[in-house]
């Protein structure tokens, strides 16, 4: 493994942290020392928001908040909330599809540029779960709260109790009950988890991730979206990554953490996302039946995205321009 494969980003400066080459999978640990990359911005890029899927308004909301001078996490949560409140979105927030017993349960997490994070899982009565995850981060000694405990904490912090199952979601669930066939659809209605990464005026990166999880999942099932390192990971020295798609596969490979670590070792965001997808498809022949997609951004504002199947889109907002980017994919038929 050659050093140039690790340090290839001209806009980033490498500062020598010496690591054992054995740890990097090289032949002789005594023979070769590898410099890991600690990324320092030579110039702060103008603010950027990226998010999963064609969540145009959510991404524009985050981008405009960044432009107005908001901090990275404020902007990410403002963006994600657009979809949490969008009743037509059946995979995020209020209006999300329920589990097979008719309960809508939401998962979310946030991660800050100082490495702090918060998470909530299995929340059945609160819409703005990314904001709730932030409140867990800021107001409790814990990282993760689940179920009734998360809900009670939310009420104590002023969050409103809400019914998350809408008439439309209830009707769809009743229709599903007629067959009760559980087979998640690739690119279901072309949207799934919203994962967002933001880079603010100070060059700081934060992220948020929010989902109602897989439609008609088993009662109690929790996906990747609230799991720090799986659905989301940010290291403000390096960059961040978020995931969408089949949560079980993302958790097995700790996908978002993997991508940030690959970027730390010099891979571009694009190459890191591709490697994370390769880890999944190389271990699971059934990849033809599920979608996983990653997006990533490094400290220099470079972005990347990759997925298993055609049909995934990444939104990117920078310099007043909100762009939908069709993402390259692994499974070319």
Q: Which residues bind ligand GLY (CB under 6 A)?
A: 192-193, 211, 213-214, 223-225, 244-247
Q: Is 193 a catalytic residue?
A: yes
Q: Least distance from C-beta 284 to ligand GLY, angstroms?
A: 15
Q: Least distance from C-beta 244 to ligand GLY, angstroms?
A: 5
Q: Give Cβ neighbours of residue 255 (< 8 Å, ≥ 6 apart).
A: 224, 230, 241, 243, 276, 279, 280, 292, 294
Closer CB to ligand GLY, 111 or 300, in the complex: 111
Q: Least distance from C-beta 118 to ligand GLY, angstroms?
A: 18
Cα 232 to Cα 287: distance, rounded to the nearest angstrom: 21
Q: Least distance from C-beta 10 to ligand GLY, angstroms?
A: 34
Cα 128 to Cα 318: distance, rounded to the nearest angstrom: 25
Cα 263 to Cα 122: distance, rounded to the nearest angstrom: 31
Catalytic residue among 52, 135, 193, 244: 193
Cα 148 to Cα 113: distance, rounded to the nearest angstrom: 29
Alpha carbon 194 to its chain's center: 7
Closer CB to ligand GLY, 136 or 246, in the complex: 246
Closer CB to ligand GLY, 194 or 272, in the complex: 194
Token pair for residue 263? Answer: 């970027």
Closer CB to ligand GLY, 105 or 113, in the complex: 105
SS3 91: coil
Closer CB to ligand GLY, 92 or 238, in the complex: 92
Cα 198 to Cα 94: distance, rounded to the nearest angstrom: 24
Taking CB atoms, the residue at the shortest distance from ligand GLY is 223
Q: Least distance from C-beta 59 to ligand GLY, angstroms?
A: 18
Cα 288 to Cα 182: distance, rounded to the nearest angstrom: 16
State the burial class of residue 223 (Cβ atoms within 10 Å of its Cβ: 0-12, 13-18, 19+): buried
3-class SS letters over 197-240: EEECCCCCEEEEEEECCCCCCCCCCCCCCCCECCCEEEECCCEE
Give the catalytic positions in this structure: 193
């Amino acid at each position: 493994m050659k050093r140039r494969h690790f340090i290839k980003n001209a806009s980033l400066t490498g500062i020598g942290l010496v690591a054992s080459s054995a740890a990097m999978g090289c032949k002789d640990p005594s023979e070769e020392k590898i410099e890991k990359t600690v990324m320092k911005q030579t110039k702060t890029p103008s603010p950027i928001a990226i998010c999963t899927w064609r969540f145009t308004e959510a991404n524009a909301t985050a981008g405009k908040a960044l432009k107005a001078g908001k901090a990275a996490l404020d902007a990410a949560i403002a963006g994600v909330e657009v979809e949490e409140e969008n009743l037509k979105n059946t995979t995020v927030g209020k209006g999300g599809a329920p589990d097979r017993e008719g309960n809508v349960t939401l998962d979310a997490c946030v991660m800050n540029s100082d490495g702090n994070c918060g998470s909530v899982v299995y929340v059945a009565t609160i819409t703005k779960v990314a904001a709730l995850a932030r409140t867990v981060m800021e107001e409790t000694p814990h990282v993760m709260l689940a179920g009734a405990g998360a809900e009670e904490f939310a009420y104590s912090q002023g969050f409103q109790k809400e019914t998350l199952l809408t008439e439309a979601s209830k009707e769809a669930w009743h229709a599903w009950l007629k067959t009760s066939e559980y087979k998640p659809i690739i690119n279901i209605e072309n949207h799934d988890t919203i994962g967002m990464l933001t880079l603010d005026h100070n060059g700081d990166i934060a992220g948020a991730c929010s989902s109602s999880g897989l439609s008609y999942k088993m009662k109690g099932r929790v996906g990747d979206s609230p799991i720090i390192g799986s659905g989301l990971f940010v290291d403000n020295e390096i960059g961040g990554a978020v995931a969408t798609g089949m949560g079980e596969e993302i958790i097995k490979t700790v996908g978002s953490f993997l991508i940030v670590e690959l970027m730390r070792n010099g891979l571009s965001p694009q190459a890191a996302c591709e490697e994370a997808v390769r880890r999944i498809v190389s271990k699971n022949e059934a990849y033809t039946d599920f979608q996983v997609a990653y997006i990533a951004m490094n400290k220099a504002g470079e972005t990347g995205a990759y997925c298993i199947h055609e049909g995934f889109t990444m939104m990117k907002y920078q310099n007043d321009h909100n762009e939908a980017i069709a993402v390259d994919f692994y499974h070319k038929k």
